[in-house]
Every structure is written in structure tokens, then in C-alpha cells.
Amino acid sequence: MSTQVILGLFVGGLFGAALAIAALADPDKIIGTLRLKDLHAMRTIAVFVLVGMFGVWVLEAAGAAHLSIKPATVVSVLIGGALLGIGFGMTGYCPGTGLACAAGGRIDALVTVIGMFAGALAYILIYPQVAVPIERIADYGSVTLPEITKVSRAAWTIPIVVVGALVLLVTRPKPAK
Amino acid sequence: MNLREVNMTELIVQKEPLPWWAAGLLLGLVQILAVALEGPLGVSTQFVVADAKVIKEVAPEYTAEHPLISNEKYQKFGYGWWLDVGLVAGAALAALALGRWKLRATTVWWRRNHNSKVFTRLIAAFVGGFFILLGARFAHGCTSGQFASGWSQLSLSVVPFTITLFGFGMLTARLVYPKSPEIEK
């Protein structure tokens, strides 16, 4: 087996297990968060992002990060976020948690995964005529916030991580009696 | 169906196995590991890869001329593909280990708002899945590859994505699930 296969299975295995243990692979927790009735998933996602941001900064400073920056094709990204948001709000699934929930015995998640294959097919079919022209509008390229603002990654990371951690600490839920 | 026959886990949103800070820390560490080893987490690209493989069998000429799927990235099973395969295996094993692996076709929130109609849940699941992947490709990534990995790397693209993802997500959830079920604390 190639290194790619082993690394993929290793990282993916940990990610799938973490999604299940973190209860993000639970559509009821996701809908609870989108309805602002159950903030566990929102707080978990916030910690996930802050820890990742801190770690990526340290790795990049050490010259050990393998980054993959997505192109900022603003109009295409806004449309994509809206469509994905509609599906997310309907089902409580996204691509990763949909796969994880199907693996956890959820038949409806399996149907969502089938729907996702159909969505990918639709994208392939409309790509040349629809997606390509939209991607050309307001395309800023694969840039980062530190690059576009001409400040260091540290100047973005440290304030966001510190403020985020303080907000999470101050608003932490009281332990159940 | 007699209500007494319904398992309580189908009527009350079950409590999470880990507190939020530990759950988030775990996911964040997986992200750091991914970036250190090969590349950030991402899931949705592989749905296009799988479809592209099938289309190539059915219509090789169409594939060769297609500006997207003729790209080598969409014609090979690499790190991203095996990450998704690992994700499915890891999630199944973790659900079994937690004692939460269970065959079911609907959710607590769906039951609360749309009774126990499984068929409508499955229709919504399919349509939702279609929008999810179509949107993820327009955005060049999903909640993993664009949102979580985007914020971790501080990409510019994550800012517009976050606004519409959560804006439309919250609006849609409000329309589809107006009534809140009981949530175990």
C-alpha cells in the first residue's frame, strides 16, 4: 500500500471516530445548534476551529504544515454556502457527518449520501456552462487573510484564539445539578 | 404505533458522550495531525471522484473533454479518497464502541415536527443530500474542507462561505423544524 493509502485511512479513521465521539455525527445535535436550542455542537465546532487554527500556525512557523488553500471565488463560494446551508438545515448532515451517520446505522443518512452522489453528478454536468462562468466573477485566487491584509499569521491567530477562548469560557454552560 | 413501544432515545435528544471542550479538542488535534502529515481534512471532493470514475467507464470521450473531471485530481483514488474510507470505518467502530450503533431512519427533531413519517424524512434526506454536495462543489469544499480547514488555515474564502452556510442553515432549520423536542442535559 502506498503512503497515501495508509495516511488517508489513518487520518480518516481518527476523524470519523472523533465525529462520532464528539456527537457532530448526530443530526439532532446539529439541528439543535442551528435552532440555537442546544449549543453543544456549536461550542464543539468553535473549539475544533480554534485548536486547528492554533496548531496550523505553530506547524507553519516550524515549516511543517501541508496547507491547501481553496480559491476565493467569492460569488461561487456564496452560492455554494447557501445551497449547502439549505441541505444542512433540512437534514442535519454534511458530507463528513452524513458518511459517519450512515456508518452508524442511520438509513436516512445513507439516503442523504445517495443524494450527495446525485448532487456531485449534477455539478459535473453543469460545470462547463454554469460553474466556470460563475467562478470567474470576483476571483481573488487561493489567498489567505494574512496575505491579503499583509500582516503575519500570528497577528490573526493570536487575537482570534484568545478572544474565542475567553468567549467560550465566559459563556460556558453551568454543570447540571 | 403505540407510543410505549417507541424507544426513549427516539423521543429525547440523547446527551453527548464528551463535553464540548474535549470533543472540540479531539477534532482539532485530528486536524493538526492531518496538516502535519499530508493535508487538511476534506470530504466532498471524493463524491466527484467516484462519479467521475463511473462516467469515464460509460462515456470516455465526454470525460476526456470535460474541463473538470479530465483533471488527474478527479481520476485517482489518493489521500482524500482513503480519508473518506477511513472516516466511514472509524465512525462505525466508534458508534459500536459507544453503544450508539443503531438502525433507524428518522431523527428526534423530525419526529417532533413531522410525526413518525419515515417516508417524508427519506425524501427530505435525498433532496438535502443533493443540495449539500452541489453546494459543496460550488464552494470548493464542505463543512470540513472549506469551513473547518478554511478557518484553521485562515483562507479568504472561508469568510463568505461561513456567512451563507450558517445564514441559510439556520433559516432552513427554522422553517423545517419549528418545534423543539426535549433535549437531555
Rg of the Cα atoms in chain A: 19
pLDDT value at B61 more than 70: yes
pLDDT value at B63 more than 70: yes
CA-closest candidate to residue B162, choices B174, B177, B150, B176: B150
Contact: A100, B157; criterion CB under 8 Å: no
pLDDT computed for residue A175 by the predictor: 73
Cell digits for A11? 487520518
Q: Are A92 and B90 in contact (CB under 8 A)?
A: no
pLDDT computed for residue A115 by the predictor: 98
User: Which residues of chain A does B174 touch, with a Cβ-Cβ cutoff of 8 Å?
Assistant: 34-35, 89
Tell me what the pLDDT averaged over chain A comes to.
96
pLDDT computed for residue B3 by the predictor: 47
Q: Are B33 and A15 in contact (CB under 8 A)?
A: no
pLDDT value at A177 more than 70: no
Residue type present at position B137: R
pLDDT computed for residue A163 by the predictor: 98
Q: In which residue are the cell numbers 490573526 written?
A: A156
Q: Which of 45-64 (B) contact A at CB < 8 A?
A: 47-48, 50-52, 55
pLDDT computed for residue A16 by the predictor: 98
Tell me what the pLDDT averaged over chain B comes to.
94
**A90 alpha carbon, distance to own chain's centre:** 17
Percent of chain A past pLDDT 70, that is, above it, reads 98
pLDDT computed for residue B4 by the predictor: 46
pLDDT computed for residue A176 by the predictor: 64
Q: Are B129 and A116 in contact (CB under 8 A)?
A: yes
pLDDT value at B34 more than 50: yes
Q: Are A127 and B66 in contact (CB under 8 A)?
A: yes
pLDDT value at B16 more than 80: yes
Q: What is the pLDDT of residues A120-136, one digit of tens each?
A: 999 999 999 999 999 99
pLDDT computed for residue B6 by the predictor: 56
pLDDT value at A98 more than 60: yes
> No. of H helices and E strands in chain A?
9, 0
CB-nearest partner of A116 from B133, B164, B176: B133
pLDDT computed for residue B180 by the predictor: 96
Q: What is the pLDDT of residues B113-126, one digit of tens each?
A: 998 789 999 999 99
Contact: B183, A37; criterion CB under 8 Å: yes
CA-closest candidate to residue A49, choices A171, A165, A155: A165
Torsions phi, psi for A106 (to 5 deg):
-85, 110
pLDDT value at B89 more than 70: yes
Q: Which of 86-145 (B) contact A at CB < 8 A?
A: 86-95, 98, 100-109, 118, 121-122, 124-145
The interface predicted TM-score (ipTM) is: 0.96
DSSP assignment letter at A129: I
Q: What is the pLDDT of residues B139-175, one digit of tens each?
A: 999 999 999 999 999 999 999 999 999 999 999 999 9
The arithmetic mean of pLDDT across residues A97-123, rounded, is 98
Q: Which residue of B has its CA nearest to A75?
A: B160
pLDDT value at B1 more than 60: no
Contact: B173, A98; criterion CB under 8 Å: no
Percent of chain A past pLDDT 90, that is, above it, reads 97
pLDDT value at B2 more than 50: no
pLDDT value at B46 more than 80: yes
User: Which residues of chain A does B108 touch, with a Cβ-Cβ cutoff of 8 Å?
Assistant: 28
B139-160 in b/e burial notation, b at 16+ Cβ within 10 A? bbbbbbbbbbbbbbbbbbbbeb
